[in-house]
Amino acid sequence: MAEIRNYTMNFGPQHPAAHGVLRLVLELDGEVIQRADPHIGLLHRGTEKLAENRTYLQSVPYMDRLDYVSMMSNEHAYVMAIEKMLGIDVPIRAQYIRVMFDEVTRVLNHLLWIGAHALDVGAMTVFLYAFREREDLFDVY
């Protein structure tokens, strides 16, 4: 009788079904994934090293490159950390404005997700509609 064994397969880091940079080493039993070993760090950009020779304000633009989808949320988190470290009190109006931009970014993320997912399952029209709405929402920025 033949010995049944699992297969090991690399998924990514560049794969049509992987949006972004991801590498998984998968152990498969037929079509069932038995084990997944994620390899992280493929999106490392050396942000910490770049920020060493810059002021806090000069480092803000690097933060939106950490995640190309959630740019405002990353900048918001960075600025909040700097403000907390320096003991800066932010006016309530500015806090509300920041949260509103974070929510706009979240809606943009959802539109990107639904468009990419629709494209993956073959619905090109939904992809185009989602990206049309994203472009209109980018005018808020």
Q: Is 3 helix (H, G, I), strand (E, B) or coil?
A: coil
pLDDT score at 90: 96
Q: How far, CA to CA in Å, does 2 sit from each of 5, 27, 68, 72?
A: 9, 19, 48, 56
Provide the residue ranges of all domains of the chain, joining segments of one domain with +.
1-43, 45-89, 103-135
Q: Is pTM beyond 0.75 here?
A: no
pLDDT score at 43: 67
Cα angle vertex 65, ends 63, 67, to 5°?
Answer: 95
Average pLDDT per consecutive 10 residues, the chain (141 residues; last block may be shorter): 79 66 86 88 77 92 83 91 96 96 94 91 93 91 78
